[in-house]
Amino acid sequence: MADCASTHNTGPVAEIMTLLETLILGLYFFILVILGVYGWHRYYLVYAYMKNKDRVPGPPPVWDGPLPVVTIQLPIYNEMYVIDRLVQATARMDYPRELLEIQVLDDSTDETAEVARRAVDRLAAQGFDIKYYHRTGRTGYKAGALDAGLKEARGQFVAIFDADFIPSADFLNKTVPYFQDPRIGLVQARWGHVNQDYSLLTKAQAILLDGHFVLEHGGRNRAGHFFNFNGTAGIWRREVISAAGGWQHDTLTEDLDLSYRAQLLGWKFLFLPNLVAPAEVPVEMNAFKSQQHRWAKGSIQVCLKLLSRILQSNQPFGVKAEAFFHLTANFNYVLMSLLCILMFPSMVIRYNMGWYEMLLIDVPLFFAATASVANFYVVSQRELYPDSWKARLRYIPFLMALGIGLTVNNTRAVIEALLKRESAFARTPKYGIERGSDEWNGKKYHQFVALQPLVEIALGLYFTMTVFYALANGIYGTLPFLVLFQVGFLYTGLLSVIQQFGGGHGAVLSTQVAGGK
């Protein structure tokens, strides 16, 4: 009787377990397929870039007739360490002074206001048309500041620089002449990185941004697809901003939002890969996460706002498809979060089925999703640094791990956007870091995050356990991928904690790891 009862009880349990295992494996492979599709899209961007290599913009044409008035807008918020450097850089612009207007649009609530006022007064005394605007509230955040300044501007064209940028003296001479083409609404420069060698974190960020500008902007622009203004280091035809509905602040990426609205009206954008506007990348992990969170959340907000309108427009299919991939890419972080949870149980389930089958299925899918990322950044480095690109390849595995380590951070951003949860425009703290000897410890604007780093460390330990399981059972083919997850989560979580509680020690540690200092 006991044996019969035991058999009867285990039957339903076994069926439930089988069903659960099937659901886990089905969801796991579904996620891998979606990630693989977006991985192949990266190959397409490289293809579009290389296929249209001859479509790079030529040198700026000679301006025919009187030069136009240009307004330079400098939106700032609590940027006491870099605002004076920015104002001085704009004053060095090689452009007729009587045709140049500078607006310092300051929403600051700290000593930045006094530093900015002094810088403005100094240039005004030298004969510059420079004005200081200080808002008592941050209505609309950056978009609100730009809109308020635009109402007072006298320029036909509007150049915008964030506080940490150091535009070159020839910036206007290399951008304004392209607007002789009446179809051009925006000219965007490529970002440079004045502190890319400061640490392992800054080196990885520099490569990430290089890929974005060289291949995403370059590939899209050359192939005739839409690409976006990056909020800084670009110059607009003023009438385009108004025609497209102006600066709107219902998303955290007002630049991406306006870019799509303008291009839907038929305006053409131009990307200049050889015009570089140097800037400072975040040296602090939590500042980097905050920046990525804002970009990820903002892009999903723009997706929800405009994607339907884009797909229903009369744009060519290729433009619509590229816009779809562009605006939906950050949804992949939610899939990555699920993948992280499912990876270990799916490994255990399929190990019991036979590890050889696991390799035949997993490795090709992982390869499609990850090799495309590696290829993407390898090509970008080869294009930018033909003489030294091979030496820079040593950072690619870490860059891929860092991207994985952002999963928790950016998943939170996507979910907040989907739930329409509003949040303030959190500007990225900058400390005026240009050399390896510069310090940010002891300066203001540090960001503190309590729970998220602990979640990331927990995931890092989870993947450490998964790595040991794979080693113990001889599942060696998955190890390279598992280690990327392990290193990515442990690095992002631990560095956040170290820098929060250890200050500059975290910066020193990460600088030493980079190997060059």
Q: Tokens 């990460």 belong to which residue?
A: 510
Are the C-beta atoms of residues 247 and 147 closer than 8 Å to each other? yes
Rounded to whole angstroms, the Cα distance separating 339 from 32 reads 8
Rounded to whole angstroms, the Cα distance separating 228 from 230 reads 6
> Catalytic: which of 147, 162, 164, 255?
255
107 included as an active-site residue:
yes
Are the C-beta atoms of residues 455 and 305 closer than 8 Å to each other? no
Rounded to whole angstroms, the Cα distance separating 452 from 409 reads 7
Rounded to whole angstroms, the Cα distance separating 138 from 145 reads 8
110 included as an active-site residue:
no
3 state SS of 474? coil
Classify residue 448 by its DSSP letter.
-
> Catalytic: which of 106, 107, 147, 162?
107
Residue type, 72: I
The DSSP-derived string for 129-198 is EEEEEE-SS-TTHHHHHHHHHHHH---SEEEE--TT----TTTTTTTGGGGGSTTEEEEEEEEEETTTTS
Burial of 26 (0-12, 13-18, 19+ CB in 10 A): exposed
Are the C-beta atoms of residues 175 and 272 closer than 8 Å to each other? yes
Which are the catalytic amino acids? 107, 255
